Structure 1
Amino acid sequence: MELRHLQHFVAVAEDQHFTRAAERLMVSQSGLSASIRALERELQTPLFVRTTRRVTLTPAGRALLTEAERILAQVRSAHEAVAAVQGVLRGMLALGSEQCIAGVHLASLLAAFRRQHPDVEICLRQAGSGALAEEVAAGRLDLAFAVRGEREDTDQLRAVPLTSEPMIVLSHASHPIARAGAAVTPEDLGDEVFVDFHPDWGPRRTTDSVFAAAGVRRSVALEVNDVHTLLDLVEEGLGVAVVPRHFRHKRKSLTALPVKGTGETVYETVALLPPSQATSPAARALMALLETQDA
């Protein structure tokens, strides 16, 4: 099995199209097809279901994709490690992050990293914490800034703590809980209309844990995928939102009250990385830079 076979396989899996994958790889379509056929002969199983419009992975193809991505990531890390020993940090930093993550100012961090390491290409992906954890574990991301969940600290993933904070409830100033002006419990909020993020986002996962621990069921009527829409909906009085405490600075017109009775549940942000021996030089350099900014 040759590395180029795996590279070709991953490209076709990503594009779901031989012609587009061949153009991206700058190889002939016939050469790409031959490479995939050679891989299928070696593994003695079809990897793709081919139609006139697209190709999709077979079960064997899906199993191979995870391993192929991990192998290619390790090869890339090996090249970058050799370059780092030679005194030059180059290659690519594949980074993931949630929106408005606490404990890191992402834009200034990446700007400082680029100034120090101009030969490293930065690729950024924004997604929910669950998806980011899977991407790091699979080797598709070098690291990610996310919210701690239940599946971190495994053989393929480690979590480096950044910061933690309590949750608060945001509401319109005219809302009854705002007028009361006192800390609230999950039980106090059980009958409210909620604005919240999609289930994969860290704040939503933390809030779900808070209410589950309290044994309180809640209904998320307004589900969004960005912070500003959430704040707009709350500001219009369409619902309340339970969010990390640092969100209160984003919209001064909203009333922010503490949420008590949450037990040990807090919003904790972490840097997700592969095991130390598999962490790329670029990821280590970014984490070192983050530590100096926090100092």
Structure 2
Amino acid sequence: MIRSFVRLPLREGASVEMHQIRYFLAVCEELNFTRAAERCHVAQPSLTRAVKLLEEELGGPLFHRERANTHLSELGRMVRPHLEEVYERAQQAKREALDFTKLKRTTLRIGIMCTIAPDQLVDLLRAVQARHPGVELHIVDAAAPQLEERLVQGDLEVAIYCRPNRDGDERLHRIPLFREQMMIAVAPQHRLAGQNMVRARDLDGERYVNRVNCEFTGVAGPIWREHGATCSLVYRSERDDWVLAMVAAGLGFGFLPESGVTHPGVVARPLIDPEFWREVNLVTVRGRPHSPAVGAFVREAMRARWPGSLQHSEAGLKPDAA
């Protein structure tokens, strides 16, 4: 438990320097000004002057000097434990700051879009742990809009997500990591399962199981309608595993990234005419001072091998590419 400080008898406007405390504590240990100066690697007049200034700040003598018998005064004995605590706290703060800058012990708050499968990021996390074992990752799992909001507000230091048609926000700096095509997921007995690919117009009249956290919410529907597809939304869920279970049960089709179709009772067909691709980016706030841990994480992300990795890209939406 951290003890509260007792107010020291400082005169008004006075201040105590850390080197004065260090010199005082050295004299407390040595009870000899010459040995204390040698211990602090400072000339004895400098140490004596610093202790005298400290005595002036505290309002009285801290030591009684009687030839070879230097010992603490009553005031010195009273303030010693408090100055020891001040000095130890300062040293602890210095150690922790050094550990932070050298990545020996620091926490990095990262946001990962909830529709990204862990398998797509586990190699990156493994690399961070291997090269920077002092970095503790605090992972927040949420939808892209929530991650972006928390990133801008400062609750997160870095985030990995996809927001089509949102690349114009000048507050954010994006590094493309990978891209993958969006698929139509259906049960094996569904009429579209026999096709090698699905055109948007093929979805007309079909029942749709909606992913609440879909990357293309508000984007895909209007484009489908432009291509002659009007779907009937029958279910919606925040969880992709529930969406896939309902698709496998024949309740409707799903619209998911290729890596997200993991249910054994579901088949995936690429959607064409138009195609949709999600581009996943590593996002930070432009111009914001970042911790060394952010720099380390970004370097590992740039070094990682990503499926369908990108150097430069336009928005994740690729219409009429078939």
TM-score range relative to shorter protein = 0.5 to 0.7
Q: Deviations over 1:127-179 (max 9, x none)?
A: 11111111111111111111133334523212211122222211111111123
Question: Which of 191, 197, 201 is equivalent to 1:176?
Answer: 191
Question: Which of 243, 246, 257 is equivalent to 2:269?
Answer: 257
Structure 2 distance, partners of 1:112, 1:137, is 26
Gaps of 5+ in 1: 1-26, 28-78
1:101 paired to 2:112: no
1:158 paired to 2:173: yes
Query: Which protein, 1 or 2, shows the higher relative CO under an 8 Å CA cutoff with sep ≥ 6?
Result: 1
Q: SS at 1:259's partner residue?
A: strand
1:118 paired to 2:133: yes
Aligned to 2:211: 197
Aligned to 1:230: 243
Structure 2 distance, partners of 1:103, 1:135, is 21
How far the C-alpha of 1:215 sits from its partner, in A, is 6.2
Identical amino acids, percent of aligned pairs = 23
Aligned to 1:275: 286
* 8 Å contact kept, 1:129–1:201: no
Moved more, 229-238 or 109-118: 109-118
* 8 Å contact kept, 1:103–1:163: no
**Higher radius of gyration, 1 or 2:** 2
Instruction: From the two aligned structures, give the one with the greater helix fraction.
Output: 1
Q: When the two structures are superposed, what TM-score results if normalisation uses the length of structure 2?
A: 0.57
Question: Which of 196, 199, 206 is equivalent to 1:185?
Answer: 199
1:286 paired to 2:301: no
Structure 2 distance, partners of 1:159, 1:214, is 31
* 8 Å contact kept, 2:106–2:134: yes
How far the C-alpha of 1:109 sits from its partner, in A, is 2.4
Gaps of 5+ in 2: 5-93, 307-322
How far the C-alpha of 1:120 sits from its partner, in A, is 2.8
Structure 2 distance, partners of 1:270, 1:104, is 16
How far the C-alpha of 1:240 sits from its partner, in A, is 0.6
Structure 2 distance, partners of 1:215, 1:160, is 35
Structure 2 distance, partners of 1:85, 1:186, is 52
The 3 A distance-change label for structure 1 pair 86 and 251 is: closer
How far the C-alpha of 1:117 sits from its partner, in A, is 2.7
1:87 paired to 2:102: yes
Q: When the two structures are superposed, what TM-score results if normalisation uses the length of structure 1?
A: 0.62
Q: SS at 2:302's partner residue?
A: helix
How far the C-alpha of 1:205 sits from its partner, in A, is 5.6
Moved more, 163-172 or 153-162: 153-162
Q: Which amino acid aligns with 1:147?
A: C
Figure out how many residues of one structure are paired with residues of the other and give that number: 212
The 3 A distance-change label for structure 1 pair 167 and 195 is: same
* 8 Å contact kept, 1:96–1:127: yes
Aligned to 1:5: none
Structure 1 distance, partners of 2:119, 2:104, is 22
Question: Mapping of 1:56-71 within 5 angstroms?
Answer: none
